[in-house]
Each structure stands twice: as C-alpha cells, then as structure tokens.
Structure 1
Amino acid sequence: MLDIQAIRNDFPILTQTVNGKPLVYFDNAATSQKPQVVIDAISNYYGTINANIHRGVHTLSQLATDAYEQSRQKIQTHLNAKHNYEVLFTAGTTHGINLVAHGFAAFVKAGDEVMVSAMEHHSNIVPWQMLCERTGAKLTVIPMNEKGELIIEEFEKLLTEKTKIVAVNHISNSLGTINPIEHIIKKAHEVGAAVLIDGAQAAPHLKIDVQALDCDFYTFSGHKTCGPTGSGVLYGKEEWLEKLPPYQGGGEMIKEVTFEKTTYAGLPHKFEAGTPHIEGGIVLGTAIDYLNSIGLDNIMAYENELLRYGNEKLQEIEGIRFIGTATKKTSVISFNVGEIHPYDIGAIVDKMGIAVRTGHHCTQPVMNFFNVPGTVRASFAFYNTKEEIDALVLAVLKAQRMLG
C-alpha cells in the first residue's frame, strides 16, 4: 500500500489554493507535478556544477559531464536498453518522433507506406504526413471502434511489404486506451516494418522494457514523468541509429570538420547537436529514480483504483457520456455532460480549484470520430486521492446545474 499523504508531502505545489479552494490537479496527462527532490536537483545543478559538458578539461565541466552521462545510464537501466548509447536525450516526445521521421526520408520512397493509428496525438501524425509529402509515400491509418480500441484485424489487413514504419502510441492521451503494442510490433516486424512507440503517456504509469517489447524506437517526455519541461528520451536500436542520418548539424555531433567534408561522431552524439538541456537530462534521471523509489507496479495499481472509483462516481451524473471505454485503460477519464460545451464545464470546475483539461487534446481525428467538439479530461496520478475525485463530481454537478 502506498502512503499517499507522504507522497503528497513530496509535492509542494499540492499545498496551495486556487480561487480560494485547495488545488485538485487532474491535468497529469498534460504535465505532471514535480517532487521536491526534482526541484532541489535543478537548483543544485545550477548552484554547484553548472558548466558545458563533454570535452571540457576543467573540474566543473567534468562533474557536469559525469552527472549527465550517469543519468543516461540510469535511463538505459530503467528502459532495459542494451547499450547506453541507444538512449538519446531530446527536448521531449515530439522531438523524438520528428528525429525519426526526418531520418526515414532516407528509407522511404514513392509508393511505400507509413502507418499510424486513428488515436494518435498530432505529434505522431504531422511528422509522418510531412515525410509522406517529401517522399511520395502513403499514410495509412489503423481504425478504431466505438470503445476507443484499435481494430487489430484491420491493422493486420493494412500491413503489407510496402509498410516501412508503424508509429503508434502506447497509451492514448485523450482516451486512456492501452494499446496492444507487443502484438503490433511482432506483426509489423513480420513484414519488415520498423516500429516507433510514442510512450509519452505510458512512461509515468507503466514499466517499460524495450528489449522485451522489441520495438525499434521508443520515446517519452520528461515533463510527464515528474521531470523538467524540455527534456525527454528517444530510445533506438543500435542498428537503426547507425543507419539514420543526423537530424541537426552543429557542435558535438561531429568527429571532424573541414570545409570540404564533415564526418559524424558516434552514438549517441551524432544526434545531440549543440549544447543540450544539461540540467534537464541530469534531473530527468532524478525523476526516474523518484518514480522507481515508489515503484511503477505500485503506481499502476493505485492509479487503476482511482480510475475505477472515478468511473463509478462520475457515471452517477445524469447525461454524462464517457469518450473512450476500452477494456484496458490507464487513469484518464474523458467525458461530456449533455450538450454543455466542455470548455464551460472546465471554466466552472476551475473556480472550484480543480484543474482539468478541455478541448480536443491534440487529437482532432479522435474527436471527429466521436462527433464531439472536445471533451473534459480528468487524468489522475499517484499523488491524487479519492476525496479529490469526490470534489470533481460535486464541481461537475454544480456546472451542470448552472449550465444545463
């Protein structure tokens, strides 16, 4: 059993009030809150070892480099990657996806196919559309059903020898659906396609083993895993990272530069041009340590309990419609109430000190599928409580009375 009050004490922001009410933070799918140990690590970096990393002979540079590379090692262990140089530091999930999509222009030609799913975040749609526009490849889409689950039979029919890469999310940010990525990866590999997994929503909730999954790429963001904004990770299999061309040119990613020719550095530096977000990379390791100290299995079990409780309580509201009712879900509840616009509910709920996300959640094709302008999304984390869910229900009921 988790000591939720002790965990809540780790997060200073949770003690404040919003509009005169205790803060209830249910926007964790957008960004997670940060524990004091992460906040302290940011301050400690700038206060004690701030320096540019790699190649520096002076002490601070060596200390910063060691901390940065130790964080890479932590993340390698956390993901069970085979090599530490298969872990690339990025600015976040979007950066990771764009890096791969840009590089795949070298392997995709007119007539080839790139596959995404119907429930992707725009960040896992637009870069692949851009790739298709550059190369003449075709974008194919795995359809979903009314529960918000991918139709795997249709996925298998869509897969052909022309499919060069399949890019799907591990967990949907707007529906909470946990996708059967193990099956998707296996089937894609059978036709020779690579697979990229958008793990932005999965990394805060699930244990991830990239070797067991056998995915070619896995990417996630630091800011959703209790770490700093502007930080993230792209895991890539060594053989793919060796083949992919660099995403950006500049310092750090070179071996030798003349005006006639440039040769590139080895992994991971080939993909880490310029001065990186050093503090972000180091402190992301601190955040991963924090999550592991609680235990991702414990986190998932408790958040599943919150999800069950939230569904039970919210469904008592007359006229509520849940968007996304997959059998396998994580702690995200998207809903609408009658004909009330989700923005209006969100605005009134905010007056009660409760933070939820409203809108299309960067998944406009999902909203079009369900024929809604958007949803109210309550996304729970391991520092939330059932009492906070009760407060949300009362706030939605108040909004319904005012707006219905």
Structure 2
Amino acid sequence: MNAEVLRNEFPMLVAGDKEAKPLAFLDSTATTQKPASVIDAMDDFYREHYSSVKRGVYRLSARTTEAFEKTRKDVAKFINAKSEDEIVFTRGTTESINLVAWSYGRKFFEAGDEILISGLEHHANIVSWQLVAEMKGAKIKVIPVRDDGDLDLSKLPELLTPRTKMVAVAHVSNSVGTVNPIAEIIATTRKLAPQAKVLIDAAQSSSHIKIDVQKLDCDFLAFSGHKMYGPTGIGVLYGEYDVLDSMPPWHGGGEMIKNVTFEKTTYADVPARFEAGTPAIAEVIGLGKAIEWLNNVGLDNIRKHEEQITQYALKQLAEIPQVKVLGNPKERGALISITLDGIAVGDAAMILDEENVAVRSGHHCAQPVMDRFGVDATLRLSFGVYTLERDIDRFVAGIKRVVRLFA
C-alpha cells in the first residue's frame, strides 16, 4: 500500500495540498475524508437514478432498491455476519446504541439489573444507558482504567454478577487510543454472566481493524459510515438475529409494519422493524462504496501503515519536553492525545490552525476519561490511510511554535 498514491484519491486533500500552507488533516478519529469513488457514487445516484426504495415497482426504484440492499449484504460480509438480515441501518453509532438501549433495555431490563460499561467510553455509550437505567431502575457499573490507559480487567470477575444484563464496551477508545481486548471481555462475560448481552462500540475500529462478529460472539456491534471513509448520516447496528427478533420497534412509521389498523399494528420482520421512514438512500450507497474501497485497500495494510505513522508521531513528540501523552496502552489505535505543560490545548489548536494543521481539542465526548486522568481537555491528533510523515512533521513544527509563543 502506497499512502502517497492513495492520498491522491481524496479531493479534499489534493485541494489542501495546493494551499500556501498545505493541509495536514489530523482529525480522522472525528471523521475521515472521502475518496472520489464514494463522492462519485452518491453523485451518480442523485443525477442518474434518484428514487425511493422498496415502495416502487418502476425501474428507477428497482435499481435504487437493488443498490441499497446490496450495501446491506456488503456490510454483513464486511463484519462476517451470518445474514444481511442482522444488519440495521441507522444514522450512526450513537443511534445504534440508543436503539439497543431503548428497544432491548426497555423490554428486558428490570429494577436492580446491572449494565457494565468501561471507564473509556464515549458519551454515546454512557448516556444512552443512563437514560434507560433511570427509567427501569437499573444500575450502571464501570470497569476501571489503569494509569497506562488500559482497562483493569482483573476487576471484571467481581463486576460481572447474575444481575448483569448488558456489557457495552468500546473496541478502541476515542480519547486515549486504547485497543481494548474485546475478545477476552466477551469470553469472560459468557463464562461468568451468560445471561448478559454484549454490545461493542466499533466506531473507532471499523476502518482500522478486521472485525468478525461470529468469531467474537458479540450480540451487538455499532459503527458509523463517516469514520470509515463514507458519508455522514449513516451507521450500522449489527445484532444477532434471534436477539433482534426479540426486540420491539423503537420508531413508528412507514416500512416497519406488516399491517396497520386503528385498533392494532403488527410489525415487520427484522431488520425492517427498526428502519421506520424513508432511509438515507444516498448515504447507504456511499457506505457501500466506502466498504468496497476499504476492501480493495485492505484493512491489514491500513493497520500496518497507521501503526508506523503512530510510532513515528510518538517518537517525535517524545523530543518535546512540554508534551505529555495521555496513557501508554499495550495496544494503541491510530490516535494520540496530548497535553502541554502550562498551555491551554484550545490555544494550541488555534495556533495550529494558522499553520493549516487540523487537530481536535477538548474532552472528545469522553469527560469521565478526562476526569480519570486529571485533565480538562487534550489535543488529539489522529490518523487515516492518507496520513503521511510530513503531516506529523507539520504538527510537530506547529507545537514547537506554540511552545515558543506561550512558554
């Protein structure tokens, strides 16, 4: 894989390279840039065969429906689901988690039940469970985080009890970069709390690490299109079919029904039961093209490249005394969070923007993680298939300028 060549497939980056100060885009954890093939596929839909799906028998609708459902099959194959019927389209990871909380949780949680999450979670995998826990009288428990940023899994056996109904854990932390050993967590859960369901937040892993839901034996897996070189507004919830089939709909409207009368409504089978209303058709088509693109590049190739870039960045940052890296996990994803001695990270981000270096500052929707490490916010640089060493060099030069200005 040649990252320099692949970078030319991203119109935004090609344009940015022509600016007086070339763009160094280091915010791929928040959202990835889009290759031309994804943009073209969506543009082609709007220009050549725009129509709704499922409802029409005319040729345009049939063509669009075929493309729409092909993506469902492609997603199932991408994560090795047993069937495309286990794939539900949502607006993103956040909505996928909320769907499970509000459908499964409202039906099956009871007072005194326990929901186990980790101390590394994004707010989407915290607040969703807090809302349903408050409604049902359930309790949230947290796997603690060690100083190095890894989860303290020695606590897992005592946290899992006969009252555990859900274990919801991120595959990769969006704030520290920790790659959690989800296979180990799932295996321990199956052994010690077999009644519990397991949800994996794969928002930060779906475009970096090969996922096999059958091998993992998770009940649910959630991820977003825009973090894997696809469009915003589209996400995926994988659910094991029998589990999904036991869950009631959480939105009402068109397409999620079998029959409607004023007296009673019966609901469609999975997955249509969870896809009320006209879907994000162009976005689904874009997601399908993004998956095709990822398959062509190869997740193993992407992971290898990102590991090299991450190690290069860590080495460069280690030479700046004012920089402190948040955590040192055994396995790190394609992101690094830092703080700067005596310098507000928000100020640093603005100076970096003057250099056309795009990074994220703040709590990254992970305030409990910030609290755990005793910081208000971090400066986060994150990488994708198109990240080059020269982008890191631009960032490091910008940080050195920040230090000269504020130190």
Settle same-fold status: TM greater than 0.5: yes
Give CA-to-partner distance per residue, 1:176-228, whole Å, 9 cap, x none.
Answer: 10001001111222212100000000011011110001100001000000001
Partner deviation per Cα, 1:221-278 (whole Å, 9 max, x = no partner): 0000000100111000001100111110100000000011100011110000000001
* Matching of residue 142 in structure 1 with residue 143 in structure 2: yes
Contact (CA 8 Å) 1:114, 1:139: kept in 2 or not? yes
Give the superposition deviation at 1:50: 1.0
1:6-45 alignment to 2 at 5 Å?
A: 6-17=5-16, 20-45=20-45
Task: Give the equivalent residue in structure 2 for 1:291.
Answer: 294
- State the shift of 1:293 in Å: 0.5
Take 1:153 and 1:347, find their aligned partners in 2: how far apart are those partners? 41
Q: State the Cα deviation string for residues 321-349 of structure 1 (Å, max 9, x = none).
A: 11021011111110011121110111101
Paired AA for residue 54 in structure 1: K
- Amino acid of the residue matched to residue 383 of structure 2? F
Give CA deviations for 1:14-53 in whole Å, capped at 9, x if unaligned.
1234983100000000000000000101100111111110
1:335 corresponding residue in structure 2: 338
Distance in 2 (CA, whole Å) between partners of 1:4 and 1:133 is 47
Alignment RMSD, CA only?
A: 1.0
**Are residues 1:4 and 2:3 paired?**
yes
Partner Cα separation in structure 2 for residue 27 and residue 394 of structure 1: 17
SS at match of 1:22: coil
The aligned amino acid for 2:345 is: P
1-structure distance, mates of 2:189, 2:282: 37
Does the 8 A contact of 1:15 with 1:23 survive in 2? no
Deviation for aligned residue 1:317: 0.4
Runs of 4+ aligned structure 1 residues displaced above 6 Å come to: none
SS at match of 2:226: coil
Distance 1:136 1:50 in 2: 47
Could you state the TM-score of these two structures normalised by the residue count of structure 2? 0.98
**What secondary structure sits across from 1:347 in the alignment?**
helix
Report the Cα offset of residue 4 of structure 1: 1.7
Alignment match, 1:49: 49
Q: Secondary structure at the match of 2:232?
A: coil
2:244 equivalent in structure 1: 241
Find the aligned partners of 2:156 and 2:378 in 1 and give their Cα distance: 27
Equivalent residue for 1:325?
328
Aligned position for 1:178: 179
Q: Is the 8 A contact 1:20 1:353 kept in 2?
A: no
Q: Give unmatched runs, 5+ long, in structure 2.
A: none
Separation of aligned partners in 2, 1:4 and 1:43: 25
Question: Hey, what's the Cα distance between the residues in 1 that align with 2:49 and 2:317?
Answer: 49
1:143 shift after superposition: 0.4
- Please state how far the C-alpha of 1:319 moved relative to its aligned partner: 2.0
Among all aligned residue pairs of Structure 1 and Structure 2, give the percentage whose two residues are the same amino acid.
Answer: 47
Whole-angstrom CA distance in 1 between matches of 2:32 and 2:207: 9
Question: The residue matched to 1:297 in structure 2 has which SS?
Answer: helix
Match of 2:204 in 1: 201
Matches within 5 A, 1:33-182: 33-103=33-103, 104-182=105-183
TM-score normalised according to structure 1 size: 0.98
How far apart, in 1, do the equivalents of 2:16 and 2:133 lie? 48
* Unmatched tracts of structure 1, length 5 or more: none
Which amino acid in structure 2 is aligned with residue 211 of structure 1?
Answer: Q
| Matched letter for residue 354 of structure 1 | V
2 CA distance for matches of 1:328 and 1:124? 21
Structure 2 SS opposite 1:344: helix
Instruction: Give the C-alpha shift of residue 5 in structure 1.
Output: 1.9
| 2:4 partner amino acid | Q
**CA contact 1:170–1:197 (8 Å) conserved in 2:** yes
Structure 1 segment 262-281 matched on structure 2, within 5 A: 262-281=265-284
SS at match of 1:223: helix
Give the equivalent residue in structure 1 for 2:391. Answer: 388
Q: Distance in 2 between matches of 1:17 and 1:116?
A: 40
Deviation (angstroms), 1:320: 1.2
> Secondary structure in 1 aligned to 2:227?
coil
Shift of 1:288: 0.6
1:210 aligns with 2:213: yes
Question: Residue 143 of structure 1 contacts residue 155 of structure 1 at CA under 8 Å; is this kept in 2?
Answer: no
Cα separation, 1, equivalents of 2:5 and 2:16: 19
Count of residues in correspondence between the two structures: 403
Secondary structure in structure 2 of the residue aligned to 1:293: helix
Rounded Cα–Cα distance in structure 2 between residues aligned with 1:3 and 1:145: 37
8 Å contact 2:88–2:236 — kept in the other structure? Answer: yes
Mapped partners of 2:16, 2:215: distance in 1:
44
Q: Which amino acid aligns with 1:43?
A: D
**1:299: Cα distance to partner?**
0.3
Partner of 1:308: 311
